[in-house]
Structure 1
Amino acid sequence: MSRDVRTDINLKEPRWDQGAFMGRAKHFFMVTDPRNVLLSSEALDEARTILENYKHGKVRPGLTEDELWRAKYIYDSAFHPDTGEKMLLVGRMSAQVPMNMTITGCMLTFYRTTPAVIFWQWANQSFNAIVNYTNRSGDAPLTVGQLGTAYASATTGAVVTALGLKSLTKHLPSLIARFVPFAAVAAANCINIPLMRQRELKFGIPVTDINGNRLGESPKAAQQAIFQVVVSRIGMAIPAMAIPPVIMNALEKRAFLKRFPLLSAPIQVGLVGLSLVFATPLCCALFPQKSSMKVSHLEPELQTLIQAHDPGIDVVYFNKGL
């Protein structure tokens, strides 16, 4: 049973242990909860007020710990962590499931014609660009040029991959052709994310000690962070883009869908949505949000700087991004 809230809760950290996969999974199930998209502006502002009052020692009578944590996750789902500004609705992490299920479901349904391939790959990369811009780091903001380059490169890469593989699968079983959208999305992620975070690869990302004290910037930490994000993003796509094609390939051979072919798209979108509800938070949880790296693996000059600051530091920490 919930009890009155304590006054010493650290709201800068997630509610659950991030050193364990299950703790990270619980955290990301809350972060990506699609129900938060339906919250009104009043509900979002109320959550912000609860958190601001708590930070200043003002606790509403009867407020429980569960309600406080719920307010934190509502706030985190809608407001930028660096600027505090309300984020674009479609770019929020809570919009990932409904947006991706629609776009991915249509990509998997309308994969047979060239115009459909081009349109849905473009739609997917346009959505990715909005997500990456909305969740950009306030410490290293994206320029319009960087955003445009990443958007154009990822879209081109996805379309070229999709059309190239589509031409190669003309004489192969129909099931093989259904996996072309996944290959295109995987290729686009490998292009889009590094380009979107190219400034981090060049100048590095902040690394800290275990207490959060900033020690410097490391491009090698950025490389590890971006690799982990790419793996997570591709992992999210695997269940949503690999399981539904197998099911749909079997269903379309049955009399029901032959009789009602217009139901193919909504069924496929529903299957993708069901997969994404679980795949999105579980794949976000593959790696800790607060990732780590041994000091010995950093750049020599940064190692020297850290050793001069505190010779006892063996490991540094950094935010890997999403």
Structure 2
Amino acid sequence: MADTATTASAAAAAAASAANASTDAPPFQLGKPRFQQTSFYGRFRHFLDIIDPRTLFVTERRLREAVQLLEDYKHGTLRPGVTNEQLWSAQKIKQAILHPDTNEKIFMPFRMSGYIPFGTPIVVGLLLPNQTLASTVFWQWLNQSHNACVNYANRNATKPSPASKFIQGYLGAVISAVSIAVGLNVLVQKANKFTPATRLLVQRFVPFPAVASANVCNVVLMRYGELEEGIDVLDGDGNLVGSSKIAARHALLETALTRVALPMPILVLPPAIMSMLEKTALLQARPRLLLPVQSLVCLAAFGLALPLAISLFPQMSEIETTQLEPEIARATSSRTVVYNKGL
């Protein structure tokens, strides 16, 4: 009897220990964000999870285990002792690797978690000094090609989208980026008032307006159909209220502002920092360190800029019904509705 009581007590202690192993983790909610999305800090922590590059090294076996754990939770067959932390980790892995609509694996370079590791070499190339016409065209083309593939791989796949829309957005982004970058470089080269040092410094900042304008062009062209057809708006209970063109304009404006803010620290801070570091005795004595140091500076700027930029607006944005079409306002008693802004 005593042995049985001791065993039961040990089992209870073990269960309590497992339950308390993740006291800092909030209660798990399938398909919901771990962090509150009403504050900038909550969104920032949420997107840090989404872009975590460690998920690139998750094995096929670990992915299957994560998916199975979530399936067990969904069907109420979860084994005893599984903590909230384990469930949040499993959902993070699944969301980082599998497309939410097709449930297919996203090619590694085009995952959000791969955006910084695979995008940093491109940023370094964009910021290389003494760019030729050919190198300017190459790096702008490569940057917009990578962006277009990331956009397509992480698209909303619930509705079929014609390939022509993707091609149109891709060509528009590449043409605008290359045209602006080449045009600004030509103007700088012809500016006789600049000293060679000033001309080199100005050239380093040329990629920002080119990339920022191309990003806006990419968003508008890739999602122009939303402006024509509207996007779904939902009430507080998640019920579909209707399709709103006004909400679509808000969504595209917020996304465009994010795409302008994103390259700002990435393409402005590194040139400013490198112009100071190049004057140090260390780099002047060891010019071979210039490229590795610039790569580290770009990586740090990229790692900070991406979560900050995409945290500016919540992905599920809220808007008052009085600002929408009259038929939308009449279709619900809710004071506000929400819509998916997209990334």
What range is the shorter-chain TM-score in?
Answer: over 0.9
Matched, 1:317 2:332: no
> Which of 216, 219, 226 is 1:193 aligned to?
219
Matched residues in 1 for 2:263 and 2:32: separation? Answer: 28
1:157 aligned onto 2:193: no
Is it true that 1:251 corresponds to 2:277 in the alignment?
yes
Larger Rg: 2
1:60 aligns with 2:79: yes
Shift of 1:260: 4.0
Choose from 104, 112, 126 the match for 1:107.
126
Between the aligned partners of 1:112 and 1:255, the Cα distance in structure 2 is 25
Tell me the distance in 1 between the aligned counterparts of 2:98 and 2:205: 36
TM-score (norm 1): 0.92
2:213 and 2:259 mapped to 1: Cα distance? 11
Instruction: Identify which range, 277-286 or 65-74, moves more after superposition.
Output: 277-286
| 8 Å contact from structure 1 (residues 221, 298) kept in 2 | yes
Which residue does 1:29 correspond to in 2? 48
For residues 235-314 of structure 1, the aligned pairs below 5 Å read 235-303=261-329, 307=330, 309-310=331-332, 312-314=333-335
Any conservation in 2 of the 1:50–1:71 contact (CA below 8 Å)? yes
Segments of 5+ residues of structure 2 without an aligned counterpart are 1-19
Q: Paired residue for 1:93?
A: 112
CA distance in 2 between counterparts of 1:264 and 1:43 reads: 39
Query: Shift of the alpha carbon at 1:110?
Result: 5.0
Q: Confirm or deny that 1:182 pairs with 2:208.
A: yes
Matches for 1:102-181 after TM superposition, within 5 Å: 102-109=121-128, 112-170=131-189, 171=191, 172=194, 173=198, 174-181=200-207
Which runs of 4 or more aligned residues in structure 1 lie more than 4 Å from their structure 2 counterparts after TM superposition? Answer: 3-6
Residue deviations 1:85-137 (CA, integer Å, cap 9, x gap): 11121111101111221111111115621111100000001101111110111
Using the aligned pairs only, state the percent identity.
Answer: 40
- Looking at structure 1, the residues matched to 90 and 316 of structure 2 have their Cα atoms a distance apart, in angstroms, of 22
The Cα of 1:301 is off from its aligned counterpart by 3.4
Match of 1:72 among 75, 91, 98: 91
Q: Do structure 1's residue 39 and structure 2's residue 58 form an aligned pair? A: yes
1:16 to 22, 32, 35: 35
**Do 1:111 and 1:181's aligned partners in 2 also have CA atoms closer than 8 Å?**
no
Is contact 1:209-1:316 (8 Å) kept? yes
Q: CA RMSD in A?
A: 2.1
8 Å contact kept, 1:106–1:265: no
**Cα deviation per residue 1:277-304 (whole Å; 9 max; x = unaligned)?**
222112211111110111121123333x
Count matched residues: 317
Letter in 2 for 1:248: M
Task: State the AA in 1 paired with 2:119.
Answer: N
CA contact (8 A) 2:321 2:337 kept: yes
- Give the Å deviation of 1:254: 4.0
User: Using a 3 Å threshold, how does the CA distance of structure 1 residues 252 and 9 change in structure 2: closer, same or farther?
Assistant: closer
